[in-house]
Structure 1
Amino acid sequence: MSSEYDIKHDDRVYRVTVKKLDEGGLLIVKVGDESFTLKVSENDDGTWCVNDTYTDHILRIRKRAGSKVSLEVNDSIRAIEWSRVRKESTPKPASSGPNNIKKVSGGVYPPMPGKITEVHVSVGDRVKGGQTVCILEAMKMFNELKASSDGAVKEVNIEPGSNVTPDTMLILIE
């Protein structure tokens, strides 16, 4: 299965497709018309090693605020903004009721509409099942949303102040 993203860097937007080939971190990344085979692994110090056949690149997520990310790549800071591309062909549920929502395995979804007040995780963080990953304010009550299982945070699609609905995948844990 592949995922598509629009990545904005230096006022240019790049369409990026990422396809996971195996559990060992092997990816095919397509940027425009160019494809790259990358090996991605997490280091003990929280950085990521990205190998593109010729070179190892050390990547560190310096700061994250919603879709804006500051990355350090081989000691060079780069600011990017990303958004996941939703496929037009994906059918929408007939109703917005909770029984018709197609949920992604490992996704954290709010039980009701509300506003995110706190986000406790970032991409790359390791979490345990039952760990609070964010706080949702709904109907003047604060709800702790928890990871359903152990894993690594792959996506954080919210920031404090985000308004969400039950069909919004807030966080993806794999």
Structure 2
Amino acid sequence: MHFDIVLGEKEYTLEIEKNENRFDVTINGEEQFSVDAVNLKQDLLSLLIGNKSYLVNIKDDNRKYMVDVNGETFNIEVYEEGSPRRLQRGSSGVQGKQVIKAPMPGKVIKILVKEGDEVEKGKGVAVIEAMKMENELKASANGTIKEINVEEGKAVNAGDTLIVIE
């Protein structure tokens, strides 16, 4: 099975092969891992990935899923391979102050800018890791980095203000 997923502003291609209660997953044709899954009850799964256990609650809303993993919530859109899809991003007419917020809970892996840097729309400003996937956050318009409110290696919650651009 092939799927395209959207997590935050990042898109991934997943290839999943099912073997009984085990799934072999390949992300973007590169990262591979196996997942042992047990359905505990409707919308509640127990996953074993490597040596780590995850309790996952999934709420389905027509290709949009709210996935709670060990208390952290992620919003994920899932599309079958080849289906039309749209990713809503910041508008091109953004004026004034832009606030880059964490779209999901995770860990800041890398800050790609420093205060005073000039950025163009679409330039990556930070990378957050969530659910073993890296998500690059991008500027939604041209501007100057005014504030960086987070450090590399720190955990963030959904909605936390990370970077301010003017």
TM-score, normalised by the number of residues in structure 2: 0.46
TM-score, normalised by the number of residues in structure 1: 0.44
